[in-house]
């Protein structure tokens, strides 16, 4: 494949098993060590052999110089028959009187001078049969032995690795099969970090599964209550149990209220789905203060019916600009303000503000309501979680408002903080950064 990374192509040539890779690594290191040793040994032996042959040539040169002085050319020719593979050059007073010329390239050389006689001997620096055959055979045998030892050592080294990897694979298979209670033992081995991460992932999956089941059960409960009321009053209208005009009006009003409650629940579920899908967000310059004023205007009637004073950003305030998604900002502010109104007794105040802090836009929704006990703060953004379930249901809350807020805040790359004092009220603070962070 032309587009494949070179490292990936090389990786395909490696053994698939741990044992094979460890063997290759150990064996390769040992083979390199043997070859390096052989090269050094060859260099040392070659030097030693050349030195010894040079000494022999000197002795032989002395003998040939004596023969040349006493017996002349005939004596030299007879003597060189005992020196096969040796080039012999004899000079008298600089004039060559005898020479031989072997075909081989010669390495060892010795020059002997005896008066006016100069003898030059050259011979191949050959270690003999041992150097040509025995040493390579021994080295080959050593490499084979090293390979066997490396395979054995690799088996020992990879046994624990294979066992740990098998345990991890077994847990992954059990988790894939739906067993979210599966855990693998974490020790100090090579795969301990993987094991700990896999256990943590399984715990998160188990927690997510538990929360999902609880959420579905809560949704079913929330749906059952209005559906039961609608069914009961609709049946009263159909079978004539609601005989008087007042009874029929009460039944119709109840059906309308519960239908609105169902519509609110469906709308919240849709908003939560948008946050869960984490779709690409369309961003544009948004005046956050103007958005807050619009939301406050829409909720004034609800606040008035509850006897709560609702205040938003003052008209004429300088724009508080942010590169964000306007509809998501509307949903966040509306859910926070609606929750604040429901949590504030009659005569209380809910204040929505938008300010610029540096390049960030900050939205605050503060109320003088009942507040949130500290033990509930860590879970207020959970789905269907209610601090006061009875009061929330009575006021029409679905328990999804803050979960939607949390999801949309993360989609926008913003942050949310909450401070609360029981009996005094709560403040939710959303910070929309100038450069949106990656959604969680």
pLDDT at 333: 94
What is Dmax (Cα atoms) for the chain?
A: 159
Residue-wise pLDDT tens digits, 345-360? 999 999 999 999 988 9
3-state secondary structure of 349: strand
pLDDT at 187: 63
Q: Which CATH number describes the domain made up of 180-277?
A: 1.10.287.130
Residue whose pair of structure tokens reads 């081989």 in the numeric block: 104
Please determine, for residue 7, whether its predicted confidence score (pLDDT) is greater than 50: no
pLDDT at 168: 75
DSSP-derived letter for residue 379 is: G
pLDDT at 126: 58
Instruction: For residues 46 and 11, give the distance between their C-alpha atoms in angstroms, rounded to a whole number.
Output: 40
Where does residue 33 rank: exposed (0-12), middle (13-18), buried (19+ CB within 10 A)? exposed
Please determine, for residue 231, whether its predicted confidence score (pLDDT) is greater than 80: yes
* Of 414, 320, 317, nearest in space to 359 by CA: 320
Structure tokens at 242: 């609601």
Residue-wise pLDDT tens digits, 120-146? 888 776 555 445 555 566 666 777 777
The CATH topology of domain 281-432 is: Heat Shock Protein 90 (3.30.565)
pLDDT at 391: 45
Residue-wise pLDDT tens digits, 145-187? 776 776 776 666 667 677 777 777 777 777 777 777 777 676 6
Q: What angle is formed at CA 433 by the lines to CA 431 and CA 435, rounded to 5 degrees?
A: 165
Residue-wise pLDDT tens digits, 367-403? 999 999 998 888 888 876 766 644 444 445 566 788 8
- Say if pTM beats, i.e. exceeds, 0.85: no
pLDDT at 133: 57
For 440, half-sphere exposure in the C-beta direction (CA atoms, 13 angstrom radius) is 8
Structure tokens at 168: 């991890």
Q: What percent of the chain has pLDDT over 90?
A: 22
pLDDT at 38: 64
Count how many residues are written for the chain: 440
Instruction: For residues 278 and 390, give the distance between their C-alpha atoms in angstroms, rounded to a whole number.
Output: 32
Please determine, for residue 222, whether its predicted confidence score (pLDDT) is greater than 60: yes
pLDDT at 18: 58
pLDDT at 392: 47
pLDDT, the chain, mean = 78
Residues facing 435 on adjacent strands:
none
- Confidence class for position 12, pLDDT limits 50, 70, 90: low
Q: What angle is formed at CA 249 by the lines to CA 304 and CA 237, rounded to 5 degrees?
A: 140
pLDDT at 426: 95
Residue whose pair of structure tokens reads 């559906």 in the numeric block: 227
Please determine, for residue 26, whether its predicted confidence score (pLDDT) is greater than 90: no
Structure tokens at 32: 């390199």
Instruction: For residues 199 and 293, give the distance between their C-alpha atoms in angstroms, rounded to a whole number.
Output: 48
Q: What are the helix (H) ranges across 133-287?
A: 135-176, 192-239, 245-277
Q: What is the mean pLDDT of residues 6-28?
A: 60
Structure tokens at 50: 């050349």
- Confidence class for position 324, pLDDT limits 50, 70, 90: very high
pLDDT at 196: 78
* Of 226, 275, 228, 255, nearest in space to 396 by CA: 226
C-alpha dist (Å) from residue 388 to 4, 61, 168, 214, 343: 59, 116, 44, 17, 9
| DSSP3 helix / strand / coil % (the chain, rounded to 5) | 60, 15, 25
Residue whose pair of structure tokens reads 């055959």 in the numeric block: 133
Domains in the chain: boundaries: 12-179, 180-277, 281-432
Residue-wise pLDDT tens digits, 274-301? 666 656 778 899 999 999 999 999 999 9
């Amino acid at each position: 494949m032309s587009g494949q990374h070179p490292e990936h192509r090389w990786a395909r040539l490696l053994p698939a098993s741990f044992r094979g890779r460890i063997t290759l690594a150990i064996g390769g290191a040992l083979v390199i060590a043997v070859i390096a040793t052989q090269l050094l040994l060859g260099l040392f032996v070659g030097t030693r052999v050349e030195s010894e042959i040079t000494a022999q040539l000197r002795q032989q040169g002395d003998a040939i110089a004596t023969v040349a002085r006493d017996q002349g050319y005939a004596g030299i020719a007879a003597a060189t028959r005992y020196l096969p593979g040796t080039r012999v050059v004899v000079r008298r007073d600089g004039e060559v009187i005898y020479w031989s010329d072997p075909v081989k390239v010669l390495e060892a050389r010795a020059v002997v001078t005896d008066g006016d006689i100069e003898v030059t001997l050259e011979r191949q620096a050959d270690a003999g049969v041992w150097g040509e055959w025995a040493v390579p055979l021994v080295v080959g045998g050593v490499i084979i032995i090293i390979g066997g030892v490396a395979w054995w050592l690799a088996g020992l080294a990879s046994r624990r690795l294979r066992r740990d990897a098998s345990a991890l694979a077994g847990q992954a298979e059990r988790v894939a099969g739906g067993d979210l209670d599966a855990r693998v033992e974490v020790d100090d081995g090579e795969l301990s970090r993987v094991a700990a991460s896999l256990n943590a992932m399984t715990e998160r999956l188990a927690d997510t599964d538990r929360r999902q089941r609880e959420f579905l059960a809560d949704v079913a409960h929330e749906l059952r209550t209005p559906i039961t009321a609608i069914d009961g009053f609709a049946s009263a209208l159909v079978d004539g149990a609601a005989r008087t005009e007042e009874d029929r009006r009460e039944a119709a009003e109840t059906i309308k209220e519960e239908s609105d409650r169902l519509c609110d629940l469906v709308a919240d579920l849709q908003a939560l789905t948008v946050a869960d899908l984490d779709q690409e967000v369309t961003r544009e310059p948004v005046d956050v203060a103007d958005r807050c004023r619009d939301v406050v205007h829409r909720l004034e009637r609800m606040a008035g019916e509850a006897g709560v004073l609702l205040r938003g950003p003052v008209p004429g305030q300088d724009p508080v600009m942010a590169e964000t998604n306007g509809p998501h900002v509307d949903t966040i502010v509306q859910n926070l303000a609606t929750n604040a109104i429901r949590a504030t007794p009659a005569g209380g105040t809910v204040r929505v503000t938008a300010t610029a802090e540096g390049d960030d836009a900050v939205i605050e929704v503060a109320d003088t309501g009942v507040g949130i006990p500290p033990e509930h703060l860590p879970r207020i953004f959970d789905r269907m979680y209610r601090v006061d379930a009875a009061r929330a249901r009575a006021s029409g809350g679905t328990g999804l408002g803050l979960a939607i807020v949390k999801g949309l805040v993360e989609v926008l790359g913003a942050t949310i903080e909450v401070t609360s004092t029981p009996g005094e009220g709560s403040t939710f603070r959303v910070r929309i950064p100038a450069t949106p962070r990656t959604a969680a």
